[in-house]
Amino acid sequence: MSWLEKDNSVYNLRYSVFKKDAWTEPQSIASDSTWFINWADYPSIIAQNGEPVAAHWLNKVQGGTYAYHVNMALFNENKWEDPFTLHEDNSATEHGFVSMESISDSTFAAVWLDGRQTENRSDHEYMDIDKAMTLRAGIVSNITGTVNEFLVDDAICDCCNTSITQTDRGFMVAYRDRTENEIRDIYTASFIDGVWNEPKPVHNDGWEIAACPVNGPALDAENQTVAVAWFTGADGTPSVKLAISEDLGNSFEEPIILDDKEPAGRVDVVISSQKIWVSWLASHEENNSLEIRSFDFDGAQIDSLAIPGLSGSRSLGFPQISEYKDGLLVAYTDVSGENPVVRTFMLEKGS
């Protein structure tokens, strides 16, 4: 797990490894005062066989408030190497909302929002679909840092987080799309045998919104099963949904409505060998809670629990869940005290 710490004007990207039911002593990946720091577009780290592989963060560039590039560092020979830029484009535009997934011992996949088409876009040109944010992906060597870059979608939502997972046939990404009519529903695209297929919707919610809700989907896969969770405001009803596919995402069952009581969203999803876990931030009058539910592969609910008393502010960030042994590891930012604290806990099998 990675997180940011601040010392005066300098940010430090730190990480720790969870082993033997405890976190190891935190280590530093990189630090600087020139990073772009944002509540929704945050750094990340991935591992393979229990060892770090790569980490990313965002570095400001001259040219505008939201002009920043993706810096990435590889972990080789027990140390973090010098950073490099993930993408080939160097325009002074937004590049972020990165998701990464290990493919093998020598490669991993990365997907990101790439603003090269938005360069010099004026405010009145925001509705021009030809100047929309794009979705790009890369196959990265974790030995040399070489990136084989692809265009996945040439018009997507400007600032919703992405999600990526490995499947039995390659890997799949989920993201919030954007059409000429400003419909911003959740789409997936798959990378199979070196080729990206045509993106397609998980479900046609029909959410028309000429702005970005900063609330992207979460995706996971296990064998033939794929699960996608997301937030939508379609028909004026904010809700969180879960859709399940049993054919590697070729088709999805009718979505399960998890929450239609004004949820905040910020979803995550994990598939274990026995369950589909999903989490989201719910609203209860003036209080908020992190809701966690599990389902079987047919969509029948198994368990439900909540962590009450959480802040609904941006500083809470995006809670994360991850499979651990036969249970679940949960992480979130506690902002109830004077200083924010990252808290984790385990849900063990049967709890």
Looking at residue 351, its pLDDT comes to 58
Looking at residue 126, its pLDDT comes to 86
Give residue 29's region: left, alpha or beta (phi > 0; psi -120 to 50). alpha
Q: Is 86 helix (H, G, I), strand (E, B) or coil?
A: coil
Counted residue by residue, the chain has a size of 351
CA distance 184 to 95: 20
The ranges of the chain with pLDDT < 50 are none
CA distances from 220 to 43, 229, 273, 275 (A): 20, 9, 12, 12
Task: Summarize pLDDT for 274-291 with one digit per residue, the tens.
Answer: 899 999 999 876 678 999
Q: What is the pTM of this model?
A: 0.96
Looking at residue 337, its pLDDT comes to 85
Task: Summarize pLDDT for 307-337 with one digit per residue, the tens.
Answer: 998 887 888 899 999 999 888 999 999 988 8
